[in-house]
Chains A and B, each alone.
Chain A
């Protein structure tokens, strides 16, 4: 087995263990918090018999480990149970709401990498001169406020005072887009409706940017710090002594070694955006998983809570796995190391 495959297998194994742990934890917590889910679901007018019957059908009268056993049995068949809030299978609910959140987070991730890394490179290349000072100030500003604050600020500035962008939502009501992937930016293109694509694009810019601001700042600062360190390495001195072009050194010979340590943190930031997305979605009335998640938590909709948390954890783990593979791909020491450990 090549080291990369071994690394992949190892990480997949660890991810699975983490998922099992998360499922147990959230399963226990959801049942320990006060409130009777059956009573909340049926409302105050239901009779005690009705409530009891529902509790029985949900196995709520059993011990928690036994309940977990039922849950795992269903899960292995791909069944996360039925939501008491929407009366639909939880998997169906998630399939409906997750794409909007993923679209937002992915777009924000692209902004983070696409803006943050070049800023960091630029800053390091002009260390101590004015572009560096400006970029450092801006990125410090970016990491200094949480994303929901940026969401409110950006909404006020660019949707309210200067109405450049739409104030909320995913797309204007006038467009009817057939759902294929659930990603509006893709679905509109598949439908060949450029006007709708433009509209969806304008809608996603502000929330995605709000979500990405701190990540952009973080990525820029990190990249700069690592690049500055790399610039002092003998191999950069050698590249300079051999007259490699400064731009080429910045973008290739200094960037690649500097990216490797930054990438882990960027991956974590990216995954953290999944959590922050809940708040940004709330500000921009973005119809994603957050609205669903908050609603089901307040209603103590056990199956839906666990389903939502599990899906987010899985996404988090997948992102980390991708980052690990990227690092292995960039860093020959990992690719060729005998033990394949990370």
Chain B
């Protein structure tokens, strides 16, 4: 099966006042069409910057230096002009953010923002046609009073409602890759679970590949086909979700899995900041492909 996204030996450095800091030390990953892949790690491990690099947003920062291969739908992204790359955003690849309410513009109605997103694919789309299309899309995320929602401002809707809107927007233009950066982390747990189920069903139906970025192993276990564990800018373990969960081989993965709060007490679990074993080489679980 072809890869929707392939990242090869990606290195990211930031130029700062104190010199150059390397943030990603050569990570490689691939996502096949329709596959849901999770990138798991602590905050600061380099999950989100990876997403920004795929979108080409980080490259626009003058302090960032990005090296490594990036292939999207068999095109070499590094060879695209800035304009061509820009044209992929919102059409062939889209994104869902952590907090749905703050990622929607507070002073424009949902309808206005939805129209803008739909016009990314079809610039000449009329207002009426956009509203109709948006209504259909909202239907697919179980929002049935379209008119009210499209005329509402984000602050008038609940977080869960905004998250549904965000999911509908993200899938509006039939992207082949959806990047979900800790989706719904800002929502309460039940609503997060609901919206994740919704998203799961939708991407399955539309065959959209997902790069799912998270620190929540429980969520990842339910959602992803395959996972990559990232620690300090390095991938330390990768493999099918079940295999990794049943038999975590890398010291860091084991520490990460142990760091789950338990109802029996014991306080907030902690991962030791430094452990020599965390820098062990990459563990790859057997896969059904070379």
Query: Measuring CB to CB, which residues of chain A are less than 8 angstroms from any residue of chain B?
Result: 233-235, 237-244, 253, 256-257, 260, 330-333, 336
Q: Which residues of B contact A237 (CB under 8 A)?
A: 57, 97, 103
Known: A241-B57, A242-B120. A234 touches B103 (CB 8 A): yes
Q: Which residues of A contact B104 (CB under 8 A)?
A: 235, 238
Q: Which residues of A contact B90 (CB under 8 A)?
A: 241-244
A330, B89: Cβ atoms under 8 Å? Answer: no
Some 9 contacts from A to B, beta carbons below 8 A apart, are A237-B97, A238-B104, A239-B116, A241-B89, A243-B90, A244-B90, A253-B105, A333-B106, A336-B156
Q: Which residues of A contact B105 (CB under 8 A)?
A: 235, 239, 253, 257
A234, B102: Cβ atoms under 8 Å? Answer: yes
**Nearest neighbor of A238 in chain B, beta-carbon distance:** B103
A235, B55: Cβ atoms under 8 Å? Answer: no
Contact with A along B111-132 (1 / 0, CB 8 A): 0000011001000000000000
A256, B86: Cβ atoms under 8 Å? Answer: no
Selected from A234, A242, A260, the residue in CB contact (under 8 A) with B117 is: A242
Give CA–CA (A243, B83) in the complex, Å.
Answer: 10
Q: Which residues of A contact B120 (CB under 8 A)?
A: 242-244
For the complex of A and B, 5 pairs with smallest distance between CB atoms:
A243-B89, A242-B90, A243-B90, A234-B103, A235-B105
**Nearest neighbor of A259 in chain B, beta-carbon distance:** B107
A243, B86: Cβ atoms under 8 Å? Answer: yes
How many of B's residues come within 8 Å of A, CB to CB? 27
B130 to chain A, nearest CB (A): 14
* Residues of B89-108 contacting chain A, CB below 8 A: 89-91, 94-95, 97-99, 102-108
Asked if B258 lies at the interface with its beta carbon under 8 angstroms from chain A, I say no
Selected from A233, A241, A243, A253, the residue in CB contact (under 8 A) with B108 is: A253
Q: Which residues of A contact B88 (CB under 8 A)?
A: 243
Give CA–CA (A260, B107) in the complex, Å.
Answer: 10
B137 to chain A, nearest CB (A): 14
Give CA–CA (A231, B120) in the complex, Å.
Answer: 21
Q: Which residues of A contact B98 (CB under 8 A)?
A: 234
A234, B55: Cβ atoms under 8 Å? Answer: no
B108, A256: Cβ atoms under 8 Å? Answer: yes
Asked if B87 lies at the interface with its beta carbon under 8 angstroms from chain A, I say yes
B91, A331: Cβ atoms under 8 Å? Answer: no
**Nearest neighbor of B62 in chain A, beta-carbon distance:** A128
Known: A240-B57, A244-B116. A257 touches B97 (CB 8 A): no
Asked if B279 lies at the interface with its beta carbon under 8 angstroms from chain A, I say no
A256, B89: Cβ atoms under 8 Å? Answer: no
A238, B89: Cβ atoms under 8 Å? Answer: no
B103, A235: Cβ atoms under 8 Å? Answer: yes
B107, A243: Cβ atoms under 8 Å? Answer: no
Give CA–CA (A233, B105) in the complex, Å.
Answer: 9
